[in-house]
Structure 1
Amino acid sequence: MSAAQFAVAQAVNVLDAGSLLSAFGALGIAVVLFAETGLLVGFFLPGDSLLFTAGLLCAGGTHGSVHLALPQVLAAAVAGALVGAQTGYWIGRRGGRALLAHSRARRLHEGAARAEGLLARYGHAKAVVLARFVPVVRTVLNPLAGALDVPVRVFTVWQVTGGLVWTVGLVLAGYALGSSVPNVDRYLLPLVALVVLVSLIPLALEVRRSRARRASEGRAS
């Protein structure tokens, strides 16, 4: 790595989708989605906002310093998300529970509890698809599915289904908005904030349902 590349890497804000895309382009999308869906350390990365922002920056109506090619973005997003999830699953098969036990990240353990709840409530297929749309849960469910011995074929079919819907859907949503609204990149920050808020809705609903169930069980006992 040259001194200039090192300086760029140091200046990148990994929590900011725009900063990641400016520095690394489509390659950054693949790397971030691989880390977020395949490695427990990637639970904090901005998958939803990254996909939406990347789609937005592919549209001809944007005039910022970053412009991405839609085919490259779609290919990078799909590859990162699918390979990442499958990697996470195999990590889980080889000791995911032990890795999770050694982590001190509270959000990671909360995500694991919600992932187990999804698996118990919806079954393997539906849970694997739904987890793609819930931050943190999509990081933890893949190794958890491996640790719980979810059949390889079942996991693979449904993680591919969920991964395609999640990545392609968000990228095309951003692209459609960028193509229909002139100079939409001027409103990038509020749009990304909105995407993040919307992505947290399933998480908030699941927390609310879990609290309601615990309260109901407490009254029953």
Structure 2
Amino acid sequence: MFPWLDPHVILAATGPWALVVCAVIVFAETGLLIGFFLPGDSLVFLLGMLTGAAQSQNEALSALPLWLVCLVIAVMAFAGDQTGYSIGRLSLRSERIARSVQGRLAPHSAKASHFFARFGGPAILLARFIPIIRTFVPFAAGVAGYGRTRFLFWNGVGALIWGIGLPVAGHLLGGIPWIADHVDVILVLIVVLSVLPVAIRLAVGWLQSRRPAA
């Protein structure tokens, strides 16, 4: 629907600034709540695939070392989540928001706090691999008052795994002809595999909650 959001178009059009543009997009996807529509996974996977490629529409990108791509993406992913978390924490200091939380939003705030107290670390880590969800989880963790040190740790782990894993996967798998010709299919599979653990956990929780009622 929006050709300018196509990762192929972005990387082909940005020339020597491809890595910089990708870094900004990765940061904005989680650092700014309005970045939920940005193509994080697909862009980073394709970035790794084209890095070092013999034939590429972007010669500057093909000349980039993979380690530099991984470093930049991991750092920007980490910075984005930390920014989203900090915005959530700062919002608690807003007098207007504080009054809302104490009033009608109090039950929701309590649920969020309980959720992060119980599943905080794994939820933050897993959210990094789920489009749209990863945009809002850091902010929600900040609003819920999730510990800064714990968030820093889990955010660092998630940023390293995602920021290194996706470019490396793209770089290694991009050399396989079938994968190179079916990048979109691979990206859909990545999203499905990312969401699957959450779906299974929710399904198990739903079945367990139904059991006492039955």
TM range (shorter): 0.7 to 0.9
The one of 1, 4, 23 aligned to 1:13: 4
Match of residue 127 from structure 1:
123
Map 1:176-215 → 2, pairs under 5 A: 176-179=172-175, 181-182=176-177, 184-209=179-204, 211-212=206-207, 215=210
CA distance in 2 between counterparts of 1:116 and 1:55 reads 37
User: What percentage of residue pairs aligned between the two structures are identical?
Assistant: 35
Q: Match of 2:56, as an amino acid?
A: G
Segment of structure 1 superposing worse, 86-95 or 68-77: 68-77
- Kept in 2, the 8 Å contact 1:29–1:73? The answer is no
CA distance in 1 between counterparts of 2:195 and 2:123 reads 17
Q: Match of 2:164, as an amino acid?
A: V
- Kept in 2, the 8 Å contact 1:135–1:199? The answer is no
CA distance in 2 between counterparts of 1:43 and 1:216 reads 36
* 1:37 matched to 2:37: no
Match of residue 72 from structure 2:
76
The one of 65, 72, 80 aligned to 2:57: 65
Q: Match of 1:60, as an amino acid?
A: A
Q: Scaled by the length of structure 1, what TM-score is found? A: 0.72
Segment of structure 1 superposing worse, 86-95 or 76-85: 76-85
Q: How many residues align?
A: 192
Map 1:149-188 → 2, pairs under 5 A: 149-179=145-175, 181-182=176-177, 184-188=179-183
CA deviation vs aligned residue, 1:168-217 (integer Å, no higher than 9, x gap): 011111111124x2585333333333333333434543553465456457
Larger Rg: 2
Q: Which runs of 5+ in 1 are unaligned?
A: 1-10, 102-111
Q: Match of 2:200, as an amino acid?
A: L
- Kept in 2, the 8 Å contact 1:133–1:166? The answer is yes
What RMSD, in angstroms, separates the aligned Cα atoms of the two structures? 3.1
